Structure 1
Amino acid sequence: MPSMGDAPCPCPCPCPCPTSLEDLMLKLCSPDADSQREASLALRNLAKTSSVHRFCIGEIGAIPSLITLLSSPDTETQTHSVTALFNLTLRNDANKASIASDKGIDAVVQVMNNGGLEARENAAALLCNLSRSKASLRMICGEDLFRGLVGVLREGSMRGKRDAAGAMYNLLTNRKSRGLAVSAGAVEALFQIAEDRASGLIDESIAVLANLAGHRDGRCEMESPDWMQCLLALMREGSESNKEFACALLLLLCQHSSSVTQMLQTMGAKEPLLALSKCGTDRARRKALNILELL
């Protein structure tokens, strides 16, 4: 989904309680851990409630202070801060740009790698939002980034995995990122999600895998009998969209490797492919026929 920016507010600070915000800023910048925790939680909640609050919090200069608190030894403060930053990016492109320009991305990546699970998931959600902006997209890269996303793909809740997959999908539009994602273990993590029928994320995981198949090392890792069986199982028993996504990925792999076509022949792939060529969606039928021609 494309990012959506708010229209400029009609007055310098439309926040109904500017004094309260100033008090929160004082607490946020205080050396007292309890004050920092209280202020970061309050900003987290305020940023969630309205675009007016998000505008005012950004205008008052809270973003750099929240970024600083991402390295707080207090896990609650860290979680509140990264979640507040995520909430501040909702329908607000200016806040997204501020997080990126204040070198917040490195701090967010550190949280995603080293924080508690809630903080890691919300860091992935924040990166998913930031990666929708072309300006921010150029700044989001690196081994630690993809290592953190893969960690959330493996250990997160359904929501966390969805956000991590969404962030990775956006980031892989940069071809240079694909090798980093493969090296971080993305292929295995995504196939494990695709194998889980209860995940609700089969299409999303295969869509990301299709991007990774654009990298030679990604394709090589996918040429595993286990992963081929996973795709064939989806073509036999998955939903219509599951079948379509799985077939599209198989075609991509077949077009790059004769060993994949040979493997499919030994696995009895013709039967599900023939069925799909007759009864699948228009796109799935075309892909299935193309694979059958290669076989």
Structure 2
Amino acid sequence: MPNPQQNFSLWSSCRRKLIATMRCSCGISRHNKPINSPPVIKLPPEPSSEEKNVMMKETMKRLQSGENDAVLRGAKDVRELAKTDSEARMNFGLIGVIPLLVAMLDCEDVDSHIEALYALLNLGIGNDMNKSAIVEAGGVHKMLDLVTPPKECLPDVTAAVIANFLGLSAFDSNKVVIGSSGAVSFLIKTLRGLIKAETKTEDMDSQVVQDCLRALYNISILATNVLRMIEIDGFVQFLLSAIGGDAEISERILLILSNVVSTPEGRRAVSAVHDAFTILVDVLSWMDSPNCQEKVAYILMVMAYKSSEDQQAMIEAGIKSSLLELTLLGSTLAQKRSSRILEILRTDKGKQVSENTRGGAGTTLSAPLCGSGDNAESPDSSSGFSNRNAVKHLVEQSLLSNMRKIVKRANLRQEFVSLEHLKSSVTLHNSSSKSLPF
């Protein structure tokens, strides 16, 4: 016979579950508070194709009206509509808006200049046909007129012009016109005002700097433009002097120099700069950015491959120790390029030794394997001994080179740190270290 107490407990349990279920369904449970759903934001409906056509026709009428306020409103409409709508960009280009916007650059109103410039910039986004039409309408030269003395170069206008040069130079057919227009001189002048090799200003407009450097890179892809660039007084010297501070700026500059050294004239211009190889080798040793190391390794690899004189200048700048360190600690690409440079330097040195040998009077010169005379080691133990000595010599050279750079960067007087003192420090470090300082 069932126990009445058990029946009561079972009935109580069922009752509690039933009440909890009812409360949950009503959203009033003690443990489950009602959840307020976020408000639904209703976006305005996107205009249909027919409505867009009506808006573009109205915009065209405003630009053709000749009234300042209406023309300015029309340029703003083009700027907004072309910002995100690729179809609007194409249609605006087809109905002839670009020449009207370029004509606005001849007026004296600064607001009209800015609206027209950004409208042209947006029309060229992802549309090579519009980029070509802007150049054909004389846009590049009119833009330069806005930032060329005696006119005052306003920061907003300057930034808009540079942004347009960046966009237009991405199209290959425009590179010749932009490169021969004087745009390079303007970009370099602007960069010099923003980047200072000795003192970097914190209020520097990074976006304008990046646009300048990216535009110069696009222009320098064309070899004929490289010739125009290196003819500008101090162009290569300025680029080299700006390396070493900001990693992103240095990377952009190294990209430009990669295009510069692709031509014989560019390589000669780089070699002619005092301490050029010292600056480039310092990037390998002191900059932590893998991208910068990879790009400077490419520049040095090209120059080493093309010129034995440049190879000697690299060696004098202490490149070997930096390359040895990079082959162990650098990125995969940096290791490959560093190994290639070492191979080039080794091959060229071998050729010189071979030529000197053939120039002798029937004598054959060869490096001794184990030394000579009474101090020669036995063949059984010479291999490991000579290898250890070779590695030890390379390590000493690397440490000595790095210590020289540290002394140079610290601007210490030479009488306080003599060469013999550095060598003794290196020797002491090696004798007390049980592992290679790589």
Would the aligned equivalents of 1:149 and 1:164 in 2 still touch at CA under 8 Å?
yes
Q: Distance in 1 between matches of 2:244 and 2:267?
A: 18
The equivalent of 2:224 in structure 1 is: 176
Q: 1:31 to 1:159 in 2, by over 3 A?
A: same
CA positional deviation for 1:228: 2.5
AA matched with 2:319: A
Q: Distance in 1 between matches of 2:64 and 2:167?
A: 26
The equivalent of 1:281 in structure 2 is: 331
Q: 1:195 to 1:112 in 2, by over 3 A?
A: farther
Alignment of 1:228-239 (within 5 A): 228-238=277-287, 239=289
Q: Structure 1: which 5+ runs fail to align?
A: 1-12
1:71 maps to 2:122:
no
The equivalent of 2:160 in structure 1 is: 122
AA matched with 1:236: S
Would the aligned equivalents of 2:261 and 2:302 in 1 still touch at CA under 8 Å?
yes
Would the aligned equivalents of 1:15 and 1:52 in 2 still touch at CA under 8 Å?
no
Q: Distance in 2 between matches of 1:168 and 1:56?
A: 30
CA positional deviation for 1:23: 4.0
AA matched with 2:118: T
Higher relative contact order (CA 8 A, sep 6+): 1
Q: Distance in 2 between matches of 1:36 and 1:100?
A: 21
Would the aligned equivalents of 1:33 and 1:74 in 2 still touch at CA under 8 Å?
no
Choose the corresponding residue for 1:146, options 180, 184, 205: 184
1:62 maps to 2:97:
yes
Q: Distance in 2 between matches of 1:77 and 1:266?
A: 56
Deviating more after overlay: 170-179 vs 112-121: 112-121
The equivalent of 1:165 in structure 2 is: 213
CA positional deviation for 1:81: 1.1
Q: Structure 2: which 5+ runs fail to align?
A: 1-47, 195-204, 347-438
After TM superposition, the runs of 4+ consecutive aligned structure 1 residues lying more than 6 A away are none
State the structure with more CA Rg: 2
Q: Distance in 2 between matches of 1:81 and 1:143?
A: 20
Choose the corresponding residue for 1:222, options 258, 270, 294: 270
**Identity fraction in percent:** 23
1:42 maps to 2:66:
no
Choose the corresponding residue for 2:249, options 198, 201, 206: 201
Would the aligned equivalents of 2:176 and 2:225 in 1 still touch at CA under 8 Å?
no
* 1:110-149 Cα deviation digits (max 9, x unpaired): 3465653333333333233333333434543305121123
Q: 1:70 to 1:242 in 2, by over 3 A?
A: same
Q: Distance in 1 between matches of 2:323 and 2:181?
A: 37
Q: Distance in 1 between matches of 2:136 and 2:338?
A: 46
Q: 1:134 to 1:225 in 2, by over 3 A?
A: closer
Aligned residues: 282
The equivalent of 2:7 in structure 1 is: none
Choose the corresponding residue for 2:136, options 79, 90, 101: 101
TM-score for both structures, normalised by structure 2: 0.57
Would the aligned equivalents of 1:131 and 1:170 in 2 still touch at CA under 8 Å?
yes
Q: 1:168 to 1:284 in 2, by over 3 A?
A: same
RMSD: 2.9
The equivalent of 1:243 in structure 2 is: 293
- Secondary structure in 2 matching 1:57: helix
TM-score for both structures, normalised by structure 1: 0.81
CA positional deviation for 1:18: 4.2
* 1:80-135 Cα deviation digits (max 9, x unpaired): 21111011111223322322332323323434656533333333332333333334
